[in-house]
Amino acid sequence: MRLHRRAFALGAGAAALAGVAHATQADEMTMGAVNARVHLVEYASATCPHCAHFHETNWALLKANYIDAGRVRFTMREMATPPAQVAVAMFQIARCNGASADEYFRRLAILYQRQRAILDTGSMAGVRDALFALGAEWGLSNDQVWAAMTDSTGAARVGRVIDEATGRGVTGTPTFFLNDQRLDQTFLTPEGMVASLDAALAS
């Protein structure tokens, strides 16, 4: 899905994103062995249906056979596709209350599963209520979820990632880089993903 660079405004916590600093490692979420031979980077949006589809079809295989096995280090770089403020809010609840990388990715999987239901609420009030309900399942209070949703540092963080991604020629999500080499669309299928990862591990 294509990106909308200027579409950020999250309630009262609207963020001015022009001229923000470049993304840093603190803006990313990473899991897997530090010394893994292969580093896979995904640029993704929580509101992108193509990202949700990749997660549904590929994530369990990627995590079990490559990340958890110590063969691949995986980094998520958060982008925002329309509605951008909802994408930021969803990433914020995934990170809420200092979530570890494992907890972040567990929450993100559920957010992708419920992406359509969240978006179908049709309003930010509906999104808020849907995220309140998810937060309750995860032991988060409404106040914690709301604070995360309205924290302007979230939009600023995603803005920095978009600036960095734009510099690499990323125009849509999901986009993958394997050891700094951009992958084509064949990577989106389980077979294509396995072929690319196995080739990189064998080289």
Q: Enumerate domains of the chain plus CATH numbers.
A: 34-202 (3.40.30.10)
Give strand pairing partners of 38: 72
| pLDDT at res. 175 | 97
Alpha-carbon distance 203 to 71, whole Å?
A: 13
**Beta strands 72-79; 175-178: pairing state:** unpaired
Tell me how far apart the terminal alpha carbons of the chain are, to the nearest angstrom. 32
Handedness of CA 79, 82, 85, 88 (dihedral sign): negative
The pLDDT assigned to 17 comes to 38
- Residue 197 has phi, psi (to 5 degrees) of -65, -45
Pairing, β 29-31 against β 181-182: unpaired
Q: How far apart are CA 203 and CA 28, in angstroms?
A: 27
pLDDT at position 14 is 32
Q: What is the pLDDT of residue 3?
A: 47
Residue-wise pLDDT tens for the chain (203 aa)? 654 433 333 332 333 333 445 667 778 999 999 999 999 999 999 999 999 999 999 999 999 999 999 999 999 999 999 999 999 999 999 999 999 999 999 999 999 999 999 999 999 999 999 999 999 999 999 999 999 999 999 999 999 999 999 999 999 999 999 999 999 999 999 999 999 999 999 99
**Res 25: pLDDT:** 75
Residue 1 has a pLDDT of: 61
User: Comparing C-alpha atoms, which of 46, 111, 50, 116 is closest to residue 84?
Assistant: 46
- pTM for the model stands at 0.88
